[in-house]
Amino acid sequence: MISWMSEEILVRHDRSVRNGGFVGIIANPASGKDIRRLVARATTVNNHEKVSIVQRVLLSLDANEAERIEIMPDHFGIGQRALDGLHDHPSLVAKTSLIDMPLEGTAADSVRAARYLRETGAGCLVVLGGDGTCRAVAKGCGDTPLLPISTGTNNVVPTFVEGTVAGAAAAYVAAMPDPERREICYRHKRLLVHVDGELADQALVEVALISGGFIGARAVWRADRVRQVFVARAQPINIGLSSIVGVVKPIDPRKPLGATATVSADGQQVMVPLAPGAFVPVRVKEVVDLRPGVRHPVVNTRPAVLGLDGEREIALYEGHEAQVALDLDGPWIVDIAQTLALAVHRRRFVRDVGTNQ
């Protein structure tokens, strides 16, 4: 029975003291490699490119006066390879290290790294991955702001931003006191999943009910088994299951509202951008608002699986009751444009240079 609940899911307001200019980097080597990439004409960010992105983030952090940087290790060695290629920047290498932590090669690594960085005072976490990676990091990061860079399959929370720009924004956010960070970050919503009355897990973008048991890949990439979708945000510009709602009733990511849609053969047919290069028909019967704190029932289709942010996570069998509630206390997300606009206003990029006589 899925009665497990990791302590990180309930992390809300972390009041630990942070060091100015301390930035953490979490790069997921597995992001963007599931079956959805194989069946769609999708852009793929391989691990060598992730190394390059991390290098650009590091160089920008250094140029923008970050004082300390720690990187999550992984079995591919993204962080170590990035540092190995930066020996011509000794001051940067000297203030950058890999987190000393055991590796499982699963999402638990991202959760553990985020928790460590939160507890040791990081002021900003740069995250390379997709929605699934951000969901894992959100379980451990507490109030530490996230700056997600898109390198995954579903990229609703992460943005396509150049690592150089991301590093500048992260350095600025990390050096700010907590109250000022609230001015340039926004609090992301989340969906809390309850099974038989107990909190089981969370999602940042969507929870989808998929008929049948665990079959094949964990990634959800077909619409024919989808029976219900809950979303914290949904817009027609997004790819993935949340777009089932997004093409019918867009949900602003910053408004205190969500939605749920049921899918059935007698519903209205809508065309949905389910994956890169794939607009597919989905029969949407009803769309209902989700209000914060109200538990909405998952329809009684059993056996079934709940997909969280695009990945099958929770199995439901006969007798299992599931509910989903919108919660407003998800992770803080850096608004990159607003951050850099404030940095310009405060002349962050202007340097006083002495004049030679």
Please report the pLDDT score of residue 138 as a whole number.
Answer: 98
Question: What CA–CA distance (Å, rounded) separates 81 from 93?
Answer: 12
Can you give the pLDDT at residue 218? 62
Buried b (16+ CB within 10 A) or exposed e, 16-34: eebeebbbbbbbbbbbbbb
pLDDT digits (tens, 9 = 90+) for 99-154: 999 999 999 999 999 999 999 999 999 999 999 999 999 999 999 999 999 998 77
Nearest of 191, 240, 195 to residue 1 by alpha carbon: 195
356 in any annotated domain: no
Tokens encoding 20 = 């100015």
> Is 63 or 41 the better-scoring residue by pLDDT?
63
pLDDT at 207: 98
- The whole-number pLDDT of residue 17 equals 41
- Residue-level pLDDT at 113: 98
106 and 37 within one domain = yes
- Are both 17 and 153 inside the same structural domain? yes
What pLDDT does 5 receive?
43
Selected residue with higher pLDDT from 32 and 195: 195
Statement to judge: residues 181 and 203 lie in one domain: no
With respect to residue 352, please indicate whether it lies within any of the assigned structural domains: no
- 220 and 182 share a domain? no
What CATH number should be reported for the domain holding residue 35? Answer: 3.40.50.10330
Same domain membership, residue 23 and residue 170: yes
Q: Is residue 2 part of a domain?
A: no
What is the band of 43 on the pLDDT scale with cuts at 50, 70, 90?
Answer: low
pLDDT of residue 14: 44
Q: What is the pLDDT of residues 152-193, one digit of tens each?
A: 877 899 999 999 999 999 999 999 998 888 889 999 999 999
**Could you tell me what percent of the chain has a pLDDT over 90?**
79
Average pLDDT of the residues of the chain: 90
Confidence grade of residue 277 (pLDDT, cut at 50, 70, 90): confident
Claim to verify: residue 312 and residue 197 sit in the same structural domain: yes
The pLDDT value recorded for residue 344 is 96
Average pLDDT for residues 69-96, to the nearest whole number? 98
- In which domain, by residue range, is 220 found? 190-327
Q: Confirm whether 341 is domain-assigned.
A: yes
211 and 239 share a domain? Answer: yes
CATH number for the domain spanning 223: value is 2.60.200
What's the number of domains the chain is made of? 2
pLDDT at 8: 47
The highest-confidence range among 23-37, 148-162, 201-215, 293-307, by mean pLDDT, is 293-307
Q: What is the structure's pLDDT at 10?
A: 46
Q: Is residue 137 part of a domain?
A: yes
pLDDT for residue 323: 98
User: Is residue 80, in this structure, part of any structural domain at all?
Assistant: yes
pLDDT tens for 325-354 read 999 999 999 999 999 999 999 999 998 876
**Over 90: is that where the pLDDT of 254 sits?**
yes
pLDDT in tens, 193-245: 999 999 999 999 999 999 987 655 566 767 889 999 999 999 999 989 999 99
Neighbours of 291 (CB within 10 A): 12
Check whether 355 has a pLDDT greater than 90.
no
- Verify that 306 and 341 share a domain, yes or no: no
Do 96 and 60 lie in a common domain?
Answer: yes
